[in-house]
Amino acid sequence: MHPEQLRAREYLHQKGTLLPASEIHERVGAAFAAVEALLDGVKAEEARTRSIPGEWTVQEVVDHLVMTHRPSLDELRDLLADRRPPGEPIPAGLQSPDPMGRPFSELVGALKAVHREVLDVVAAAPDRMTAARARVIMVINVKGSDERDVPLHWIEELDWKAYAVIFRLHVLDHLTQAKKTLRAARPSSR
């Protein structure tokens, strides 16, 4: 096991499993607010601009967040009901069949709606553990033999609190990606 995997496990335990539900709600809510604030300042045409070859556009990032957060919300509900979510883990690179097919404003609205639902579910969650665990595909960057970042994938079994913290980490990771894409698209703002 990579040291990065051990650090990720410890982080999820310390900043998820061991925290009160109210603090998880606050931390997830702050991450959601940060990405939504950024997206509110993005014009539809720049959201669709591929400013970095091989990287997702901001529109594709938002599509990915919508497509992954909806089933993640269902899995969180299962965990809180002490049920193991059925089926396979949510794919790491999940997107809709046509990520560029919806208007950007509609995608952002869908993301905000699912964020509200997630926060409502976490706010109503009892501050107790359940026995159920969900399988999650974890992805972190590690240094390859050539010292370049390469993604490391593995499956982790998470309790509901650690699972809820994944929303925060996922959004913050894609917030960084969206900012990088926008910096490349807005050369005058560098």
Q: Which two tokens stand for residue 42?
A: 């993005």
How much is the pTM?
A: 0.93
In 3-state terms, what secondary structure has residue 186? coil
The distance of Cα 105 from the centroid of its chain, to the nearest Å, equals 19
Helices (H), the chain: 3-12, 21-40, 44-47, 58-80, 104-124, 160-185
Which CATH architecture is the domain 3-189 placed in? Up-down Bundle (1.20)
Span 17-63, pLDDT tens digits: 999 999 999 999 999 999 999 999 999 999 999 999 999 999 999 99
Domain extents in the chain: 3-189
Q: What is the pLDDT of residues 96-139, one digit of tens each?
A: 999 999 999 999 999 999 999 999 999 999 999 999 999 999 99
Q: How far apart are CA 181 and CA 135, in angstroms?
A: 30
What is the DSSP annotation of 122-140? HHHS-SS--S--EEEEEEE
